[in-house]
Chain A
Amino acid sequence: MPSVKIPRKSSDTDMTPFVDVGFLILFFFIMATKFKPPQPVEITTPNSVSTEKMPDNDALLVEMDPTGRVFFSMLAEKDPTMKYTVIDNIAKTRNITLTEQQKKNFQNGGPVGVSFAQLPALLGKAPADQAKVKQEGIPIKDSLSNELYYWVRDAVTVMAGRPVQYLIKIDNEAKYPDFKRVIEAFKRNDIYKFKLVTSPEDAPAGSPLAVDRANQK
C-alpha cells in the first residue's frame, strides 16, 4: 500500500503584523490620552448640539452632582499662584485662619465643595486625599448664605484683566432651582455670560441648524 505523506505544518504563526498593529494602537492611545484630574463626584452632563471648545485655562468651573452638591474650582494651570491669592483673599474676607500649608494645599488641590466653616479641615489634607473626603457642597440654598457668591467674587477680582470664562457643569438629574441659584451667585457678581458644559451631539436631521451647517460645508 502506498503511504500518503501528509506534510506537517508548523503550529507557529507569524505574529509580526499582529504585534505591529498592536503597538500602533498602543501609541495612538498613549498620545491621545489626557488624564483627567481626580474628581470628587461623577457628573453626567446633558447633550447639546453646541460645538464650542472648552477652555483649559483662565476659567472658573462650578460643578453640581445629582443631589445638588456644589463644587468650585479654578482652572489656572498656567499661573497656579492665582489660586493661592484667591484662597488668601477668601481667608481674609471671611475671617478664616489658614496656615501656609493649607493655602498651598488649595493651590495644588482639586475642586472644593465645603462651606467656609469646614474649609480648614478639608485643606488640612494633602491634595491627593482631598478627593476622598466626603464633601457636603458649597452652601447656596438661600441668598443670604450663598457662599458661592464670595468664591466667585474673590476669584474674579484676582483674575481681573484676563479673558475669564465661566463654566457650569451640572448633572442631568439636578433640578432647575439649584441651577438657578448657581446662576444667581454669578449674577450678583455682574456676570451674565456662561458656558454650560455639555456632551456634543449632532444636529437632528432636517432641522434648520442641520440645514445651515450642511450649507456652510
Chain B
Amino acid sequence: MASIDSGGGDSGHKKGPGVKKAKKLSTKVDMTPLVDLAFLLITFFIFTTTMSTPAGMPLFMPKDTEKDEDKNKAKESGALTLMLGKNNQVYYYEGQLLPDGSNFKSTSFDPENGVRQVVMRKKQSTPAEDLVIVIKPNEDASYKNTVDILDEMTINQVKRFALVDITPNENELVLATQARAGIR
C-alpha cells in the first residue's frame, strides 16, 4: 500500500485528519484489442487451411504388349463395353457390337438410373469370373468422367476392368448418336 500512499501524497493536498482513502484500481483489463486480434487470426487460419486432404485413387494400366492376350481371355457373354462421350454421356453394349449397332445404347451418370444400374445389372446376370468391363473414353470425354467411371468400378466392386482406346468404328457410332441427340 506504500506506493498508493505516496501516489496520493504526490497528487493532492486534501489530507484530512484520519481520512486516508486509497484509490482502488480496477482489476478489469480491456480485452477488446486482444479479442480483435484473436478473431482476425481465426479468420485467417480458417481461410488458409485445407481441411479435406486429397485421396489417392489407385490405377493400374496394362502393359501394351499384353493387351491382346487380355482381350482374348474375355468371354463374350461377360463383356460390357462402356464408351464415354461429350456432355457426361455414356454409351454401352454387351458382348460384341452387332454390325447394325442394335445393341448400342446410351445412358448417363445419373445416380438413380444411369451407368451404375447398367453395371449392377450386368454384374448380377454374369458369373463373377466372366465379368469384364472395358472402358473406352473418346476424344471428347472429360477427365472427370474418366475418373467417375473408374470410381464406378470401385463402387460396384468390379474386379476386372480395363481402360482402352476407342475403335474408329465405335467412335463413329458415338458421334452419330451425339449428333442425333443434338449434343455438340
> Contact residues of A with B, CB < 8 Å?
15, 18-19, 22-23, 25-26, 29-30, 32-36, 45-55, 64, 165, 167-180, 183, 187, 192-200, 203-204, 207-210, 212
A170 touches B48 (CB 8 A): no
CA of A77 to CA of B179, assembled, Å: 51
Beyond contacts A19-B35, A50-B154: 12 other A-B pairs, Cβ-Cβ < 8 A, are A22-B42, A36-B50, A46-B148, A48-B150, A49-B151, A174-B142, A174-B143, A176-B137, A176-B146, A194-B59, A197-B55, A209-B156
Residues of A close to B58: CB separation below 8 A: 50, 52, 193-196
CA of A207 to CA of B53, assembled, Å: 24
Smallest CB gap from B140: residue in A: A175
Most chain B beta-carbon contacts within 10 A, residue among A22, A29, A192: A29
A212 touches B157 (CB 8 A): yes
Q: How far is the CB of A98 from chain B (nearest CB, A)?
A: 32
Q: How far is the CB of B81 from chain A (nearest CB, A)?
A: 16
Q: How far is the CB of A17 from chain B (nearest CB, A)?
A: 12
B42 touches A176 (CB 8 A): no
Q: Does B61 contact A (CB under 8 A)?
A: yes
Q: How far is the CB of B51 from chain A (nearest CB, A)?
A: 8
Interface residues of B in 159-179 (CB under 8 A from A): 165
Residues of A close to B57: CB separation below 8 A: 48, 50, 52, 195-198
Known contacts A23-B38, A175-B142, A198-B147; decide if A30 and B56 are in contact (CB<8 Å): no
Q: How far is the CB of A208 from chain B (nearest CB, A)?
A: 5
Residues of B close to A183: CB separation below 8 A: 61
B154 touches A49 (CB 8 A): yes
B155 touches A176 (CB 8 A): no
CA of A12 to CA of B49, assembled, Å: 34
A207 touches B116 (CB 8 A): yes
Q: How far is the CB of B97 from chain A (nearest CB, A)?
A: 20
- B interface, size bucket: 35 or more
Known contacts A53-B56, A209-B157, A212-B157; decide if A48 and B147 are in contact (CB<8 Å): yes
CA of A53 to CA of B156, assembled, Å: 21
Q: How far is the CB of B30 from chain A (nearest CB, A)?
A: 10
Known contacts A50-B57, A50-B58; decide if A22 and B139 are in contact (CB<8 Å): no
Residues of B close to A34: CB separation below 8 A: 49-50
Smallest CB gap from B49: residue in A: A33
Known contacts A173-B142, A207-B116; decide if A29 and B45 are in contact (CB<8 Å): yes
Q: Does B16 contact A (CB under 8 A)?
A: no
Smallest CB gap from B46: residue in A: A29
Known contacts A22-B35, A212-B157; decide if A33 and B45 are in contact (CB<8 Å): yes
5 nearest A-B residue pairs (beta carbon): A29-B45, A195-B56, A172-B144, A50-B57, A176-B137
Residues of B close to A30: CB separation below 8 A: 41, 45
Q: How far is the CB of B181 from chain A (nearest CB, A)?
A: 20
